[in-house]
Chains A and B, each alone.
Chain A
Amino acid sequence: MTDQSLVPERLEKADLDTAYKVLKEKYPDAVRDDTRTGYSGVIVDKNRLVDVAKTIRDELGFNYLSHATAVDYLGLGDHLEMVYYAYRISGGPGLVFKTQTDREKAEVPSLVSIWPGADFQEREAYDLYGIRFSGHPNLKRILLWEGFNGHPMRKDWKEPYYEQEHKPFDSRWPKGYVRRAEELNPYGKNVQYPADIDLSRLNDISEESIYSGMGLGVDIQELTTSDGIRTDRLVVNLGPHHPSTHGVFRMVVTLNGETVETLEPVMGYLHRNHEQIGERNAWIHNIPFTDRLDYISGMGNNHGYVLAVENLLATGARYQPPTYRAEVIRVLMVELNRIVNHLWAIGFLLNDLGAFFTPSLYAIAEREKILDFFEATSGARMMFNYMRFGGLAKDLPEYIRSTANLVNDQIRDFNTMEYLTDLINERLPRAIDELDTYLTESEVMTSRTIGVGYLPPEMAIAYSCSGPLLRASGVPYDVRRADPYSIYPELDFDVAVRYNGDIYDRYLVRIDEMRESIRILKQILPRLERTKGEPIFAGNKAYMPRVPVGESYGRVENPKGELGFYVVSAGDEKGTQNPWRYHVRAPSFINLTPLGQMCQGHKVADIVAVLGSIDIVLGETDR
């Protein structure tokens, strides 16, 4: 049942100011205001960071650390900065606190003891920025491999195919010359080696460090349990090529017989440098890249990013917020995308439970109908590139023309509104009911999932979990309600919540959420009719908008959890055309933090089910 402290109690802006004041009064010499233009929050002396964080969590009640990331201010103060956003689980705006450290000997105390959810995020900052976190229990590289040369997100680190700081590159525009990057590299590949490379002593230590972290010198060890049963303790590797790991995810597991003792996620097999490329790109270039984060729900990613940048743009002059129709269509897209994602997640959860591919076939069938609509609107089935700062790329088409609508060998055109009405009122509810009927009582489902992978609510909050994972543990935290954006305040919906915190409840939360999405979509339909013909874009379209200086954190409730974009614009007073920092708070990444604890004591086959219930996408986990 819900804890008393979890009962919603809305936080107001004035409250936040009081919180900052309390902090400054309690630590007058360690906490100061962040007075840079466009920035908010406080800067904490790193020596007192742990104390301040404890106050923030225990006394001020900001018990949910949403994200922690590093920024390199090379040339702008020459320091590295850790940025933390803490929220109250009951909702409201977040408390921002930062700490600064020297670039050469970068060291910051770890906050894992306060918020265990900082674990992977600090490892990421160590990996990409080279900040050492004193007191971190397992500080090693997470996205790259042990032995990699340098810390690539630092502003003075240049990638092998480096051409220029910012796009568009001079060679491409306006000159228009294109040259293959391989031609400029003597190796013909995307590699560069340090000047002092010692080729006689090349050994791959990346694997060694993974297994040595498991606390075992040997692969197999004989054990005798208390009741005299002889068994083996062994280290088993799952992934990165494994049929059930939802992509290139890898886990190293220590088993006692068939029971999981420890589990360590190993990731980075799809680390495609989203953030670093994002910092070379112009602001608008990043929109299509966000589609490729959580590639099952691209619309939500678009939405999060445009929200973050719109927050910044709003501080400047001549900014017009998106029109009402644009907001309506955004919510339409995002909610349809939520259904797509949950259908997919449920289908593949059943895959993991052993009902191989048949439930998925049923789930994917309706997904295709939604994708047809997306394709007709945005031009692509998965990579939509649909939202813009201040509006949308296109309005809805009048007709959906698609070869996919082959019925009786005839190509049919569908009127978009009729298609949507039919989809939302008839087909999707029917599909959800069908899944519900077939799966909820199914033996395959219940016997494998009830009571497995339990995550208590306190732990879910401490580990910064979000999305269905958090809500299945009895915490009614949904960004759409806790920190509303777009037109969600005027829409009538409930936050789906279940209380048992096991795989079965995570499945049920997804079913509930799809039903809530249908409820929202039914309210969207009349709004779409009403706003027909209204503009979808406010103001003039700008390809290279100048974004005012400052920082911004935009977050949305994506199907997988809280998706946040932390962007920093650092330029002259006119603003910049490129982000200085572009960070993605990826729900799939942070939701994996408690995976080890959730699997402990279960059988090896349950690992796969627990992983499936978290619903990760590697594009977002590794970025």
Chain B
Amino acid sequence: MTDLDLRELQGTEFPVPADLQGNVAITSLSKIYNWSRKNSVWPMLFGLACCAIEMIATAASRYDLSRFGMEVMRASPRQADLMIVSGTVTKKMVVPIVRLYNQMPEPKYVLAMGACASGGGPFKEGYNVVSGIDKYLPVDVYAPGCPPTPQALLFALIALHRKIDGQSLANMDDVPWYGVGPSDPTPIPILGPDIIDPRQMDIIRRQAELAAAGLPYGKREVPDLVLTAGAASTSAPRTAAEKAADKVASAPAAAAADDPEKAARLAKREAALARKRARQQQQSE
């Protein structure tokens, strides 16, 4: 940014005398603050999979990331502002990723690059694959593609710039890192029999109790509205004990009867699904 055009910063109604235009800028603090930091977002030097190759190609001479003040890729999370999650996040890898995220100083941003980081991508069904980094970390920008081309990544970065531009210093919700005290770190997942997110302890405990009681567990208690015939069992631990238990508490509506809140939620959901189906039918017709 050698040619600094001050007019770009002019943001208030204050009249600047004609002979001072180009020499003096009057603007809001948010605007100049965001303008400067959006043009020096330092990404972390951090590649996961195929997308990392396109990320490197973006940083190379042809696409030239340095046009956006972002060429300074830092290997240390403590010097980075942006984590580009460039590739498939596996359960084994999400532990170090959360650690790295926690080590980044605020304000920090996460860009989910490609289908895998956004939602698991082609490997979603894999037993060691996390279906999107947003299951563990807050994501600011998603870049679709498998892998996104350098152009797509640049577009995502510009989207991030726009987001930074819109964060007002006057609004504490926009800039929570100026609040009181340090923000809470994201709890680090545990590699047990499968990956365990400490934030999900309650739901895991509830399921474990169900399992101990010989009741069906590991399956969501929503009516199987769509997948009726054909696709039979959906989850692995369907045992004889579970089928027997099905008879006891077969209809999920019955299970939810003692919990009106849940029943209402289920009804709402059912209606939404019905609407969706109707819409699908309409489309197919």
Q: Which A residues have a C-beta under 8 Å from some C-beta of B?
A: 143-145, 147-149, 152, 157-164, 169-171, 175-177, 179, 181-197, 199, 202-204, 206, 240-243, 247-248, 268-274, 276-277, 280, 288-289, 292, 295-296, 360-361, 364-365, 368, 381-383, 404, 618-619, 622
CA of A376 to CA of B60 in the docked complex: distance in angstroms?
Answer: 21
A361 in contact with B130 given A199-B205, A240-B93 (CB within 8 Å): no
Which residues of chain B are within 8 angstroms of A273 by Cβ–Cβ distance?
Answer: 123, 125-129
Q: A271-B128, A381-B54 are in contact. Are A195 and B194 (CB under 8 A)?
A: no
Contact check: which of A191, A199, A271, A383 meets B147 at CB < 8 Å?
A383
Contacts of A187 in B (CB 8 A): 197, 200, 203-204, 207
Residue B104, interface by CB 8 Å: no
Q: Which residues of B contact A241 (CB under 8 A)?
A: 46, 96, 100
Closest residue of chain B to A291 (Cβ to Cβ) is: B50
B249 to chain A, nearest CB (A): 15
Given contacts A271-B90, A368-B62, A619-B49, contact A182 B131 (CB under 8 A): yes
CB pair A186–B203 under 8 Å, yes or no, is yes
Chain A neighbourhood of B87, CB < 8 A: 270
Interface centre among B60, B194, B195, B196 (most CB of A within 10 A): B194
Q: Which 3 A-B pairs have the closest CB atoms?
A: A273-B126, A170-B230, A158-B236
The answer to whether B50 and A145 touch across the interface, beta carbons within 8 angstroms, is no
Proximity string of chain B (106-135) to chain A, C-beta cutoff 8 Å, 1 when within and 0 when not: 000000000010001011111111110001
Question: Is there an interface contact between B54 and A171, defined as CB atoms closer than 8 Å?
Answer: no
- With A193-B207, A271-B92 known as contacts, the answer to whether A163 contacts B237 (CB < 8 A) is no
Known contacts A149-B193, A181-B131, A187-B200; is-contact A248 B93 (Cβ 8 Å):
yes
Return chain B residues, CB-CB under 8 Å to A270: 48-49, 87-88, 90, 93
Contact B124 A161 (CB under 8 A): yes
Interface residues of B in 136-185 (CB under 8 A from A): 146-147, 149
A204 and B192 within 8 A (CB): yes
Of the candidates B50, B92, B130, B147, the one whose C-beta lies within 8 Å of that of A144 is B92
Chain B binding surface, main DSSP class: loop
**B90 to A192, Cβ gap below 8 A?**
no
Task: Give the chain B neighbours of A240 by CB distance below 8 A.
Answer: 93, 96
A289: chain B residues within 8 A (beta carbon)? 122
A sample of 17 more A-B contacts (CB under 8 A), given A159-B125, A269-B90, A273-B126, is A148-B194, A159-B236, A164-B231, A177-B226, A186-B218, A187-B197, A189-B197, A189-B200, A203-B190, A204-B191, A272-B116, A272-B128, A273-B129, A277-B122, A360-B60, A364-B61, A365-B62
Judge whether A204 and B149 touch: CB under 8 Å.
no
Q: Is the CB of B207 within 8 A of A276?
A: no
| Contact present for A292 and B191 (CB under 8 Å) | no
In the assembled complex, 8 residue pairs joining A and B whose CB atoms fall closer than 8 Å, in A order, are A160-B127, A163-B234, A199-B205, A202-B190, A242-B75, A271-B90, A276-B127, A619-B49
Whether A169 contacts B231 by the Cβ 8 Å rule is yes
- Return chain B residues, CB-CB under 8 Å to A186: 203, 207, 217-221
Whether A382 pairs with B53 at a CB distance below 8 angstroms is yes
* B84 adjacent to chain A (CB < 8 Å): no
* A193 contacts B208, C-beta separation under 8 Å: yes
Question: Is B264 among interface residues, defined by CB-CB distance under 8 A?
Answer: no
Known: A193-B208, A202-B196. A147 touches B149 (CB 8 A): no
B-chain residues with CB within 8 Å of residue A190 when the two chains form the complex: 91, 120, 124-127, 129-131
A182, A365, A404, A622: the one within 8 Å of B61 (CB): A365
Contacts of A159 in B (CB 8 A): 125-127, 236
B124 pairs with A181, CB closer than 8 A: yes
Task: Report the separation of the CA atoms of residues A609 and B221 in the bound assembly, to the nearest whole angstrom.
Answer: 54
Q: Please report the C-alpha to C-alpha distance between residue A364 and residue B60 in the assembled complex, in whole angstroms.
A: 7
Please, how many residues of chain B have a CB less than 8 angstroms from a CB on the other chain?
72
A120 to B176, CA, bound (A): 48
Tell me, rounded to whole Å, the shortest Cβ–Cβ distance linking A224 to chain B. 34
B235 at the interface (CB under 8 A from A): yes
Q: Does B69 contact A (CB under 8 A)?
A: no
Question: B25 an interface residue at 8 Å Cβ cutoff?
Answer: no
B4 lies within 8 A of chain A by Cβ: no
**Is B222 among interface residues, defined by CB-CB distance under 8 A?**
yes
Asked whether B45 lies within 8 Å of A243 as measured between CB atoms, the reply is yes
Q: Find out whether the CB atom of A179 lies under 8 angstroms from the CB atom of B227.
A: yes
Given A171-B230, A192-B236, A160 contacting B194 (CB threshold 8 A):
yes
- Residues of the A chain whose Cβ atoms lie less than 8 Å from the Cβ of B221: 186
A186: min CB distance to chain B, Å: 5
Q: In the complex, A441 Cα to B62 Cα: how many Å?
A: 27
Pair A206/B191 contact, Cβ less than 8 Å: yes
Q: From residue A494, how far is it (CB to closest CB) to chain B in Å?
A: 30
Q: How far is the CB of A244 from chain B (nearest CB, A)?
A: 9
Q: B246 → chain A, closest Cβ, in Å?
A: 16
> Nearest residue in A to B234 (C-beta to C-beta)?
A184
A247 engages B49 (CB within 8 Å): yes
- In Å, the complex CA distance between A273 and B219 comes to 23
**Complex CA distance for A585 and B244, rounded to whole angstroms:** 44
Q: Which single member of A170, A196, A364, A381 contacts B231 (CB below 8 Å)?
A: A170
Q: Which residue in chain A gives the minimum CB-CB distance to B198?
A: A202
B82 neighbours in A (Cβ, 8 Å):
none
Contact B90 A272 (CB under 8 A): yes
Asked whether B218 lies within 8 Å of A193 as measured between CB atoms, the reply is yes
Chain A residue at minimal CB-CB distance from B201: A199
Given contacts A147-B191, A149-B193, contact A192 B49 (CB under 8 A): no
CA A176 – CA B128 in complex, angstroms? 27
Minimum CB distance partner of B127 in chain A: A159
Q: Are A149 and B194 in contact (CB under 8 A)?
A: yes
The answer to whether the Cβ of B41 comes within 8 Å of any Cβ in the partner chain is: no
CA distance A247 to B231 in the complex (A): 38
Instruction: Note all chain B residues with C-beta closer than 8 A to A274.
Output: 123, 126
In the complex, chain B residues whose CB is within 8 Å of the CB of A177: 226-227, 280
Residue of B whose beta carbon sits closest to that of A156: B236
B164 to chain A, nearest CB (A): 25
The answer to the question of B211 belonging to the interface, with a C-beta cut-off of 8 Å to chain A, is: yes
Q: Is the CB of A144 within 8 A of B234?
A: no
Q: Contacts A147-B192, A272-B90, A383-B50 hold; do A171 and B122 have CB atoms under 8 A apart? A: no
Distance, CA A177 to CA B62, complexed state (A) = 42
Q: Give complex CA distance A204, B62 in Å.
A: 44
- B47 at the A interface (CB under 8 A): yes
Q: What is the CA–CA distance of A176 and B236 in the complex, to the nearest angstrom?
A: 23
Pairwise interchain contact B92-A269, C-beta atoms closer than 8 A: yes
A292–B122 touching, CB < 8 Å: yes
Please tell me if B263 contacts chain A, counting CB pairs below 8 Å: no
Chain B residue nearest to A381 in the complex (CB): B149
A618 to B127, Cβ gap below 8 A?
A: no
CB-CB under 8 A from A364, the residues of chain B are 56-57, 60-62
Q: Which residue of B lies closest to A275 (CB)?
A: B126
Chain A residue with Cβ nearest B220: A186
Q: Which residues of B contact A276 (CB under 8 A)?
A: 126-127
> Residues of B contacting A197 with CB < 8 Å?
192-193, 204, 208, 211
Q: Would you call A192 and B235 a contact (CB within 8 A)?
A: yes
Set of chain A residues within 8 Å of B227, measured between Cβ atoms: 171, 177, 179
Given known contacts A382-B50, A382-B54, A268 and B194 CB-to-CB distance under 8 angstroms: no
In the complex, the chain A residue whose C-beta lies closest to that of B277 is A177
Q: Which residues of A contact B204 (CB under 8 A)?
A: 187, 193, 197, 199
Complex Cα gap A160–B193 (Å): 12
